[in-house]
Structures are given as structure tokens and as C-alpha cells.
Amino acid sequence: MDITFRVESSSDLGLGHVARCVGLAEELDKRGHRVSFTMSSESQKNISKTMALNFRLHLIETKILEDKSISNQIADARQTIAKSNCQLCILDIYAADKNWHDAALERDIKLIVFDDLDDKQIVAHIIINQNIKLDKNLYKKNSLSTCKILYGIEYMCLRNDILQMQIPKYQYKNDVTQIMISLGGGNNADSIIQIFQAMNDNFFGLINVLSTDDNEKKRLIDLNSNNFSFNFEVIFGSLDSSVYQYDTDLIIGAGGLSLWERIFLKIPSIIISISDNQRPYCEYLSHKGFINYIGHIDQFATYGRSELVRLVENFKDENPKKNVPETFIDGCGRSRVADQIELIDNSAP
């Protein structure tokens, strides 16, 4: 089957959407399907800085992140189908709405939508939400009864480099001397500077910052290192498993796809949610004792700063790894999704 993934990326949008699509694409490619990605040229440039897409690529002219009008929704869907000549499209763009879905389905294709929000009507054969299942009524209002809902972490689509990597055996210890900050794609300089300010005079080791955004990198490099009690280095690198290979004692990370990767790999982490849709499952995982969560970034000044310092100073005693069941994320999610894709019949959604 000819399958295209319709994705976008920008300086304000993390790369977790693209990363999970890559994981599913690798599984479908392994099964013999003809897989491609469709995006704007701007997104292609942004993604190429941080992630290798080893699939056929189709570039389209519409800019759906900038223009969400009905006419552009329709044009974007039609260009996607025409350029890729796909039989099935997997869409992972929040900005695309029912007008996009309808226009694509008029071309007699099968449509699958990745979604995390349930904030609009979705017309598709399958909806995928790979976050932890907290609301049993999700999608009952905004999807058709014939739409199959794949909702839960059992559908987590991890990439080959995550599934196959051999990680060092991390040890939780009190004497944390090296920290990695990795808040995902986009410009998170303001959040990183807040973390720096919290750690100043409370940490005296090395902080490595993985940056994937040019503006973020410039702002951080321009900081005067003499103003901090610790040394720091800005690493401009890719959002792949290499971030987990650095000689580090713990990672301060966000609550996007990388959160699930770190849980799967059992990597010592402190979590800050940086978007509203990350908050509910970060709070749930924290309540279950599965992660060290210090709250949302907008709470950082009032609560997160002191909690971050406390956790770093006493990290060995705050080990949530022992609470996570071995089968919590089993690495088979993308296979389960691919199985359902291959079961789609020719009926309309």
C-alpha cells in the first residue's frame, strides 16, 4: 500500500509529532508498504537539522500552520494526495481540521489521524492517541461511530534507534555532577534560562543543553558563563538516541514523546511539562510514583525552582524507576497500530 505521512514542524512546534510518525513509518516500511512523508519546504529544512528522514519526501506549497482557512485546508489536503499519490494518509498536524479530512476523503483514500487533544471533530478511519488513557469518554463526541479509536500507551510508536539502543546502566546517586537539559524541539530558551537561574549557587558541576533551534542556541551561547556557579555547554544536535548516550547523571526533560522514551529506557529524569496537553498525564504519572515531576513551566517560579533543587540534591532517594512495571511501555505499540492499519476495509469512515 502507498502510505504518506502528512507532518509539519516549526520553531514553535516540537518534533515529537514527526518522531512518532517515523517510528510507525519504520514499522510499515518493514512490512513492505511504500512509505513517504509530505510537508512544506520550511518544515523539511527545520526537520533536517535534527532528524534523518530516510523515506521518500514530497514537498507542497501550502502553509497550513500559517493559514488555517477553509480554502487552504482543502488545498493542502488535495496537494498532499496529488503529490504523494497515496492510498492511505496518516495526518499528524493539529492545525488540520474536518475540512482537511473531508477534502482528503473525497479522493477515495483511507485516513488516519494522530491526535492528543480531542478539541475538534475528526473524520477518519482511525484516530491514534498514544498517551496514557485518562478519559474513557475521549472522542465519543468528536468522532464518528465507525471510527476506530486507538487510545493508550499500548500504541506508543517508538523509533528504531530507541528500540534498539544499548543504554548504560544509570545509577541514581546523591553526588550529581553532570546534568543534561533536553526540552525537545522548538525554542525553549526562556525555560532553560529559568532552570539555570534555579540551579545557580545550588549546583557546581556541568550542564549540557541539547538545542535543536538556532535562536535558542544563540541566546544560550550569549549568556555569560561567569554569572553561574556551574559550567554549561550547548550541544546543537539531533533528536535521536544520541541524547541518551552522553555521560550524564540525570536528564531534565519535557513531557512530550521523549518522556515516554525515557520511561521505556529507564533513564533518570526530572520532568517539566511545557505545554498544556502534557500536564494531565505528567500529573498522573507523578501520582503513581513513576516520574519525578516538578510541575508545569508556568509554576516554575513559585514551586518548580525549589523542587528542582531539592531533587537534584537528593536524587538517589527520589528514584521512581523501581515503581514502573516492566511491561508499562513494551515497545510493541507501533506493531499494534500497523496491525490495525492493515485491517482497514474499503468502507467509508
Q: What is the pLDDT of residues 151-197, one digit of tens each?
A: 999 999 999 989 988 665 556 666 789 999 988 777 789 999 999 99
Check if the beta carbon of residue 182 is closer than 8 Å to that of residue 251.
Answer: yes
Can you read off the three cell numbers belonging to residue 201? 549557587
Placement of cell 535534527 in the chain: 50
Q: Which residue has the higher pLDDT, 145 or 22?
A: 22
Phi and psi based region of residue 184 (left: phi greater than 0; alpha: psi -120 to 50; beta: remaining): left
Cα gap 349→340, rounded to integer Å: 14
Distance, C-alpha 293 to centroid of its chain: 17
Q: Which residue has the higher pLDDT, 217 or 172?
A: 217
Q: Cα angle vertex 150, ends 122, 275, to 5°?
A: 70
Q: What count of residues does the chain have?
A: 349
Prediction pTM value? 0.93
Q: What SS3 state is found at 286?
A: helix
Cα gap 320→292, rounded to integer Å: 7
Residue whose C-alpha is closest to residue 266's, from 209, 206, 331: 331
Cα gap 7→49, rounded to integer Å: 16
% of residues, the chain, pLDDT over 70: 92
pLDDT band at 337 (very low <50, low <70, confident <90, very high): very high
> CA dihedral defined by 49, 116, 74, 347, rounded to 10 degrees?
120
Q: Which residue has the higher pLDDT, 27 or 238?
A: 27
pLDDT band at 228 (very low <50, low <70, confident <90, very high): very high
Cα gap 322→268, rounded to integer Å: 11
